[in-house]
Structure 1
């Protein structure tokens, strides 16, 4: 399997100030896959803030929604929520998963429709958490 990011580029990726700079450090084939992932996330969560957090691309809306990253031999979508991972367990069977993380390759990328479902579910989850966290009568978000 082709390396998604070289060791020297891994250092550069860790210093990226924005997602474009992060993606510029990864192998072109991997970049294409991550660009599609990024577009799917943004389509599902246009209201989300796109930032670099923990040195990787992160999408925030009432807290973190998802993160993604390029590793040496695979890419990862970090879902942040065990409940969401469990909800989509059947659809995730073709992929390696670990805790709240889905590992995939350029040869076997995550379907955009699945990414969008996961992100929309995370939005609902974060909205519910934010609503519970508000004092009674404090209004809507």
Structure 2
């Protein structure tokens, strides 16, 4: 893990992460940045967090997966993701290294969260 390293940019966080995790994180970074171009990425709580009128989304590194976190994750979306083989938490989606990033669902969640944050 990255305990001694204190990245200050999302790119640094990804570069300093294990190689097998980088593809998933780069994909998430690009999804967040293209879905909500107004979002500002940075490091908060030692993980990449994107802000857009408040916290939009973020991701963190675990031993065998990348955890994508977003407040707008609903029961319905969680069910769909679990049927596709993803593990989910109350506000997180676990994406194993080498597992396909659930692009459509994540784009939907980012758009929904951005809308909620604009209110």
- Using the size of structure 1 for normalisation, the TM-score is 0.76
Structure 1 contact 12–25 (Cα < 8 Å) conserved? no
Structure 1 contact 16–52 (Cα < 8 Å) conserved? yes
Larger radius of gyration: 1
Alignment partner of 1:111 out of 92, 102, 114: 102
RMSD over equivalenced CA pairs, Å = 1.5
By how many angstroms is 1:50 displaced?
0.7
Q: Which runs of 5+ in 1 are unaligned?
A: 1-6, 129-141
By how many angstroms is 1:12 displaced?
4.1
**Runs ≥4 in structure 1, deviation > 4 angstroms?**
none
Q: Deviations over 1:65-84 (max 9, x none)?
A: 11101111211001134xx3
By how many angstroms is 1:107 displaced?
2.5
Structure 1 contact 96–104 (Cα < 8 Å) conserved? yes
The secondary structure found in structure 2 opposite 1:58 is strand
- Confirm whether residue 86 of structure 1 aligns to residue 75 of structure 2: yes
Alignment partner of 2:91 out of 72, 89, 100: 100
Q: Is the strand fraction higher in 1 or 2?
A: 2
1:1-141 to 2 correspondences below 5 Å: 7=1, 10-13=2-5, 15-81=6-72, 84-93=73-82, 94-128=85-119
